[in-house]
Chains A and B, each alone.
Chain A
Amino acid sequence: MARDPKYDILFEPIQLGPKTMKNRFYQIPHCNGFGSEKPLSQAYFRAMKAEGGYGACCTEYCSISPESDDTHRVSARLWDDEDVKNLSVMCEMLHDHGALAAAELWYGGPHAPCMESRSVPRGPSQIPSDFEYLTYAKEMDKDDIREVQQLYVDAARRARDAGFDIVYVYGSHSYLPQQFLTPYYNKRTDEYGGSFENRARFWRETIEQVRDAVGDDTAIAVRMSCDMFMGDAGTQLERDCLPFVELCDEIVDVWDINVSGISEWGEDATPSRFYPSGRLLPWQEAVKKVSKKPVLGVGRFTSPDLMVDAINSGKLDIIATCRPSISDPFLPKKIDEGRLDDIRECIGCNICISRWEIGGPPVICTQNATAGEEYRRGWHPEKFDTAENADNDVLVVGAGPAGMECAMILGKRGMRRVHLVEAEEDMGGIMRWIPQLPGLGEWARVVNYRKIQTDKLRNVEFIPGTTLDANGVKEYGAEIVVIATGAYWATDGLNGCTHDTIPGADASQPWCLTPEQIMRDGKDVPGSNVLIVDNDGYFMGVSLAEKLASEGKKVTLMTHLGHIAPYMHFTLEAPNQHRKLHKLGVDIVTYHIPSRIEQGAVTATHVYDEEAHEQTWDADAVVLVTQRRSNEALYRELKDRIGFDALREEGITGCYRIGDCEAPRLIADCVFSGHRLAREIDSENPEVPKPFIRERRVIERELAVA
């Protein structure tokens, strides 16, 4: 199919200083866990987006010096010529696909804990980081200012040597140049602090010096946050940012505009739970109005119509995407080819970001199981080899995230027939009801994408409303069987804190409930006082608290952890979720674990002082979000009662389980699990993942033989 002409504007070239970008699709700087030290993973990851049609792709934040070392988190680095060599691979591969390469030069100031380099960062004033506690900067004197500016210049030269077409002087997320611009960070009284002109001086001088060094053949990009949402202390659009754009427009080739500081950067990388696409457009439009240079920016754009509208209405020149480019590196190509229903849309869960926040593991994506696996596993999101055993028929039992993904990929790998059998009337498994939790509607894209794709695959048949027992599986007629029957929330309070059940917890009682009883089965939550026991630590407990409180219940949310939903700090959902629960009057009880549950009351103790703190809460209903258990009965029947030998006699050569049915896990990991099995269905032992390439230094030496 051909591109709809209404999207033509997205494919028009645009000039960025000395460089021409072939279209309007720009992969914004974002982390992937690879940095400069896993250079091939880095290069293959970025190049996949270039192959998918992106006109420019950036590194993640790219440290200019050991003084700006973000370890435990992983940044790119341009500290020396060896980093240049490593990042040059990325540049070369991007250029091979006709895309520009950009390096986001980064100096963190007090936010950089320097845990690897053990250096001391420099900053405008000596106040510890609001993001990384116990981290102070050395307050910069004039010599420090000159020296740090020289670090930018040297790194910019190295970036050009590596092959980068665009270098950033990066300020957003409250890093050094923006710290100088912002009173919250800058308490100086010299000519680098105080008035706007003084606060802007460091950034302007640095841009000038970088431009003088490399600007003749390299585009200069500036990434600026236009609102930190902290009143007078933070950067402000009218007071600081628009004047800064006017001050520097001549020496900047492209503006990259967003909002927020680093400690609440979920206001920039917005979870779908709180914000729709295009949330940053008002600030981007404001800059576009005063600048003569191209303006780019993110907004979690997945809809080409919104992209076109942002350009035609004068809000952006270039559509930058971060998360949508992880979810679908081929977003531009699919728009170009008129294949809109093949776009794997980002769901805004921020599980990708959680990996950076955790500090180091490779990027993952709920929608795209191949993200981060381009080099180390050789996976391509759009290309699939025909399986060597493609003459086999496969039965997949259970159409949740793992089963849907597995069936879809097996279909794309050309298996003769794939039957995806589901007990319920529709696909989705847990994803039929999780998107009905407050704010999680976009998560339903996990199901919709796979439904559309499997519908197109003639060798995949979805069979709803059908429950198979072990004999039914045995006699179904498949050569390969995949069990994906999911998991359930414990009904007896079994939990990871005490590793035991909670006395009295029993979800067969009308006053005691599990998440799926509420969301899937429609079990009534009796009374007005509800106590939720959350030993899970992610979205389920807080989402139910929000839902029940919104329905007028008085909700107490109890966790044995020190925070409610600590994983939501990693997904940047925590701050606004806290605000919501606070507004709804949800009582939060931390460091407590129930010792006894009965009708009407929950008795709990402090996890660090069992005797002194025993206390009883009134509760008309108790919701158990304690832990999940695999629905493995079918698998156990097949393996233990019938036996794999007996299955082989029926012609079943392999029986595997995937997803929550094997062990409960993140939705992203369920999708990965189904994808992995399908990718390796023709390996020697599909049950065991094939080794992946580990980018590491190997010592060449003779091993002593015992």
Chain B
Amino acid sequence: MKIVVCVKQVAVLGDEVEFADDALDVDPDYLDFALNEWDSYATEEALRTRESLGAEGDEIVVVSVGDRQVEDAMRRCLAMGADRAIRVDGPGSADPITLARLLAPVVQRESPDLVFCGVQSSDAVQAATGTVLAELTGLPRVAVVTRIEWDPSAARAIVHRELEGGLVDVTEVDTPALLTIQTGINQPRYATLRAIKQAEQKEIEVVSPAEQGEPAFRVRRMFTPPKEEGAQMLDGGPADIARRIKEIVEERLK
């Protein structure tokens, strides 16, 4: 049994933000970096899946795209208990389609039983990489997963996926499959200092990027939205304000 977990090192904003001189990104001086929150749940779910099956020799492989710096996030997954890590030496903050193109050959080479991705990354919030990766690798995919009951011998999993309004869709999927994991599916474990130290010593395999193709989109400019004028302040009690809002909306709809 093998589970591949695709993870991302995300940028975290501090209290203040400045943009880089070319206005294409945030000035890196104002950024911290961390393992994407969703991916820590995905990693934990892989570990729990292995533990619940109690299978010896099973392997959890963490894959990420980026330069050397993203290894910090990958080592966090290794410290939690992942066995191996593969870094695709490409642009880690690229668009979801580019990222999926870079991840796909590694996933195919590893030929896992399950692929876990986080639902989305906290910095880009596109929620697309996992789905594109499923398309490129030809795997069935279930998104926003909150519970997994996997039977490896039957190559089938019953999966709960979160819908809007508190609804849950219970569905079956043949494995191998790609699942995007929602936060709250579990409580990710913390790594002990010993595990962190051991993870520091582990070799991370680096693979060259595949052909990236055309990006799905490009950033033209980042800027603070200008302050607009014409806001109308409504005074009065909640009932008055609600009535006024209703009138304004009805007026505009005409």
Q: Which residues of A line the B interface, CB within 8 A?
A: 1, 393, 395, 417, 419, 458, 461, 463, 465-466, 475-478
Known interface pairs A417-B193, A461-B190, A477-B193; 19 further A-B residue pairs with C-beta atoms within 8 A, sorted by A's residue number: A1-B15, A1-B16, A393-B193, A393-B197, A395-B193, A417-B196, A419-B190, A419-B192, A458-B32, A463-B190, A465-B187, A466-B190, A475-B194, A476-B193, A476-B194, A477-B194, A477-B195, A477-B196, A478-B193
* Interface SS majority for chain B: mixed
Sample 25 A-B pairs with CB under 8 A, ordered by A number: A1-B15, A1-B16, A393-B193, A393-B197, A395-B193, A417-B193, A419-B190, A419-B192, A419-B193, A458-B32, A461-B190, A463-B190, A465-B187, A466-B190, A475-B192, A475-B194, A476-B193, A476-B194, A477-B192, A477-B193, A477-B194, A477-B195, A477-B196, A477-B197, A478-B193
A393 to B197, CA, bound (A): 10
- Tell me the nearest residue of chain B to A476, going by C-beta: B192
A377 to B71, CA, bound (A): 42
- Tell me the nearest residue of chain A to B198, going by C-beta: A477
CB distance from A630 to the nearest CB of B (A): 25
- Tell me the nearest residue of chain B to A395, going by C-beta: B193
Q: Which residues of A contact B187 (CB under 8 A)?
A: 465
A465 to B190, CA, bound (A): 10
Query: What total of A-B pairs shows CB separation below 8 Å?
Result: 27
CB distance from B77 to the nearest CB of A (A): 15
Task: Name B176-235 residues within 8 Å CB distance of A.
Answer: 187, 190, 192-197
- Tell me the nearest residue of chain A to B195, going by C-beta: A477
A465 to B32, CA, bound (A): 25
8 shortest interchain CB distances as A-B pairs:
A477-B194, A477-B193, A463-B190, A393-B193, A476-B192, A478-B193, A477-B192, A476-B193
A313 to B97, CA, bound (A): 58
CB distance from B202 to the nearest CB of A (A): 15
A477 to B214, CA, bound (A): 46
A465 to B188, CA, bound (A): 11
Q: Which residues of A contact B16 (CB under 8 A)?
A: 1
Q: Which residues of A contact B196 (CB under 8 A)?
A: 417, 477
CB distance from B180 to the nearest CB of A (A): 26
CB distance from B225 to the nearest CB of A (A): 21
Q: Which residues of B contact A478 (CB under 8 A)?
A: 193
Q: Which residues of B contact A458 (CB under 8 A)?
A: 32
Looking at B193, B194, B196, the one whose CB has the most chain A CB atoms below 10 A away is B193
Q: Which residues of A contact B197 (CB under 8 A)?
A: 393, 477
CB distance from A420 to the nearest CB of B (A): 11
A111 to B128, CA, bound (A): 77
Q: Which residues of B contact A419 (CB under 8 A)?
A: 190, 192-193
Q: Which residues of B contact A395 (CB under 8 A)?
A: 193
Q: Which residues of A contact B15 (CB under 8 A)?
A: 1
Q: Which residues of B contact A477 (CB under 8 A)?
A: 192-197
Q: Which residues of B contact A463 (CB under 8 A)?
A: 190
A417 to B195, CA, bound (A): 13
Task: Name B1-32 residues within 8 Å CB distance of A.
Answer: 15-16, 32
A1 to B15, CA, bound (A): 10
CB distance from A390 to the nearest CB of B (A): 15
A358 to B49, CA, bound (A): 62
CB distance from B205 to the nearest CB of A (A): 25
A465 to B187, CA, bound (A): 10
